[in-house]
Structure 1
């Protein structure tokens, strides 16, 4: 199906449709932290990634690597800190909204 620009005038994109990101600011996690009960498991973690960049997060067992990942993807919420994607604060967005913005998670068991 081909739709001409003339037919698209005045038509706005739905909010739930993924959009091409023209501003390539990437992902920033600033000073994120999480406690489980009274035990701090992530303290003051910050990172900055450009779109398309591939990185590895290394550390010993129990260092908080998975918890950091879960906070960024929206599986759990941080107790403090902010997560910004392409200039938009996504700290309090649910996982499905983050997915529509380009953050995905595929568990090993899938």
Structure 2
């Protein structure tokens, strides 16, 4: 089993969540494609994947299709619901209210530094 190969238990959970294609020619196994999509770290280098991954076009097409139709989100939501039902997820959220201030020039301040225009002096008064 490769490093990112889904176990049999994981695969029985994921398989029903993947879209089914009933028509057309025989295609590469979904389990293989899912494993290879996880193993390829950088989508921009997909054309240069090693031969053990199979056709780069197949990986690209399937990954793009699954991303577009919400397959990955469906798998994530189902996994979260399963773990939440088992009590394995604590939904406590910490919100940080840190403020990052921009430099005065980034905020549109005048580059001269002082308000020497007559209109600026009137506005300040």
Where on the TM-score scale, by shorter chain, does this alignment land: which range?
under 0.3
More strand by percentage: 1
- TM-score relative to the length of structure 2: 0.20
**Which structure has the bigger radius of gyration?**
2
- TM-score relative to the length of structure 1: 0.21
Q: Which has the higher contact order (CA 8 A, sep 6+)?
A: 1
More helix by percentage: 2
